[in-house]
Amino acid sequence: MSVLLTNIGELVTNDPAHGGSGPAGGGTMPGGRETVADGIGLVPDAAVVVEDGRIAWTGPAASAPAADDVVDLEGRCVLPGFVDSHSHTVFAGDRAAEFAARMTGEPYTGGGIATTVAATRAASEDELRARGRALVREMLAQGTTTVEIKSGYGQDVATEARTLRIARELTPETTYLGAHTVPAEYAADRAGYVDLVTGPMLAACAPHARWVDVFCEPAAPTAFDEDEARAVLRAGLRAGLGARVHGNQLSAGPGVQLAVEVGAASVDHCTYLTDADVAALADSWSPARPLGSAPGASAPGAGYGTVATLLPAVEFSTRSSYPDARRLLAAGVPVALATDCNPGSGYSSSMPFVVALALREMRMSPAEAVWSATAGGALALRRDDVGHLGVGARADLTVLDAPSHTYLAYRPGVPLVHQVWKDGARP
């Protein structure tokens, strides 16, 4: 069964066959491919053929092959489904009061997480599952077809494992973040908590996780310093997980260098970077390797460098300074955009909102932001089957009620997602 989606006013493919190897002016993308004007593989007056859940053909509508079924998209823009490579969407409770307090003058220190940990430990499995499902549905309605979900609100063996079991029902991109913060009961025994995270908790969680993550931020008293974070990441790697890092959110710390040292797929936040941090990220991609040259999705490790993932909805919701995206792009560092959807520092599930912030607050171009929210997210998850619409990619598509991708930021806060396709069907 094949479906022809036609009368697409503007198609974003991120496909090198259509000049989609990364936005021009953003430095050399992995593989050092030649870039063209837009770098996101735009095709005007386009069509897409979907077959067996995959992209079978893309190009000008006038030369499209026949298909079993035809869908007329009436001039709308189509882009790859968003890849939200950083979220914390399985939790219980609510921190609206903390947010209101912060907005009226209290500084954000990250201490409010204990509220969510207590609520998550107390919640039933059904309650957690229902909340997670609802958030993933909310994301899908806003064009997100791939989402990564972290644990980290359990901080005990049973609740971390339960969180990841539920997350695994929602996505294959699950991340063990037992080392989110040091829970109150271990405040006087940090080493004991690291032993738990790298020992019994890891053993219980690894079967449900693809990634290990750590909040490496020595400036925050409940986060982890460099040695603690290294121990957590190395233990996760030994257990067969790929590495990711929360780093350099509140100050210039060791997170970025550590991420590069262990070959992490991504270091997330990157708000405070030294020149050496930027250079380390850029160097991690050298020698440059083409996207998709790495082994399959089951082997997160070889062949890729470390992506800088920016989470501007957090800076928005904590009224903090935004990361310097232009500095990273100028250095040739691949940048991903994600929501960091979580109940404390930023409770938005909306990738269109993140794209709008990336333009308004981080001076990314429309093409750069859309690439980072799709192909960039895929790179941060070391996936070559999503984030682009090349032949063979998963048929994950977002159809906008707009003529071009620029409208995502041009019309902020407006529900522009007309329909979403996942694996070649309307979910």
Q: Is the dihedral of CA 5, 10, 12, 15 positive or negative?
A: positive
Nearer residue to Zn ion within complex by CB, 58 or 339: 339
Closest contact distance (angstroms) between CB of 222 and Zn ion is: 14
* Cβ(319)–Cβ(247) below 8 Å: no
Closest contact distance (angstroms) between CB of 152 and Zn ion is: 8
Judged by CB under 5 A, the chain residues 371 through 390 that form the site for Zn ion are none
Dist. CA 275–CA 113, nearest whole Å:
31
State the binding string over 1-20 for Zn ion (x if CB under 5 A, else -): --------------------
Closest contact distance (angstroms) between CB of 346 and Zn ion is: 9
Q: Considering the rule CB under 5 A, would residue 173 count as an interface residue with Zn ion? A: no
Taking Cα atoms as reference points, which of 259, 214, 253 lies closest to residue 232?
214
Closest contact distance (angstroms) between CB of 153 and Zn ion is: 11
Binder of Zn ion out of 340, 368, 384, 396 (CB under 5 A): 340
Nearer residue to Zn ion within complex by CB, 67 or 310: 310
* Cβ(267)–Cβ(309) below 8 Å: yes
Closest contact distance (angstroms) between CB of 309 and Zn ion is: 9
**Strand stretches in 38-172, DSSP E:** 42-51, 54-60, 69-72, 77-80, 82-84, 144-150
Nearer residue to Zn ion within complex by CB, 35 or 309: 309
Taking Cα atoms as reference points, which of 422, 420, 362 lies closest to residue 393?
422
User: How buried is 382 (Cβ within 10 angstroms: 0-12 exposed, 13-18 middle, 19+ buried)?
Assistant: buried
Closest contact distance (angstroms) between CB of 221 and Zn ion is: 18
Q: Which long-range contacts (CB under 8 A, 24 or more apart) does 328-332 make?
A: 328/270, 328/273, 328/278, 328/281, 329/23, 329/25, 329/26, 329/27, 329/364, 329/368, 330/27, 331/27, 331/278, 331/279, 331/281, 331/282, 332/26, 332/27, 332/28, 332/29, 332/282, 332/285
Nearer residue to Zn ion within complex by CB, 35 or 306: 306
Closest contact distance (angstroms) between CB of 215 and Zn ion is: 8
Distance in angstroms between the alpha carbons of the first and the last residue of the chain = 17
Closest contact distance (angstroms) between CB of 46 and Zn ion is: 36
Closest contact distance (angstroms) between CB of 359 and Zn ion is: 22
Residue with the two structure tokens 């850029």: 282
Nearer residue to Zn ion within complex by CB, 381 or 389: 381
Pairing assessment for the beta strands 77-80 and 397-400 based on DSSP bridges: antiparallel
Stretch that binds Zn ion, among 42-50, 125-133, 257-265, 332-340 (CB under 5 A): 332-340
Residue number with the shortest CB distance to Zn ion?
Answer: 340
Q: Count the site residues for Zn ion by CB under 5 A.
A: 1
Stretch that binds Zn ion, among 196-204, 227-235, 249-257, 334-342 (CB under 5 A): 334-342
State the binding string over 282-321 for Zn ion (x if CB under 5 A, else -): ----------------------------------------
Asked whether the bond before 287 is cis by omega within 30 degrees of 0, the reply is: yes
Instruction: Tokens for 181, please give them.
Output: 């913060």
Nearer residue to Zn ion within complex by CB, 91 or 421: 91
Nearer residue to Zn ion within complex by CB, 21 or 309: 309
**What is the separation of C-alpha 342 from the centre of its chain, rounded to a whole number of angstroms?**
13
Stretch that binds Zn ion, among 131-139, 198-206, 339-347, 373-381 (CB under 5 A): 339-347
Nearer residue to Zn ion within complex by CB, 15 or 340: 340
Q: Which long-range contacts (CB under 8 A, 24 or more apart) does 193-200 make?
A: 194/224, 194/228, 194/231, 194/232, 196/157, 197/232, 197/235, 198/231, 198/232, 198/235, 199/235, 200/157
Closest contact distance (angstroms) between CB of 150 and Zn ion is: 7
Nearer residue to Zn ion within complex by CB, 268 or 277: 268
Stretch that binds Zn ion, among 95-103, 111-119, 293-301, 340-348 (CB under 5 A): 340-348
Nearer residue to Zn ion within complex by CB, 221 or 415: 221
- Which residues in this chain contact Zn ion in the complex, by CB under 5 A? 340
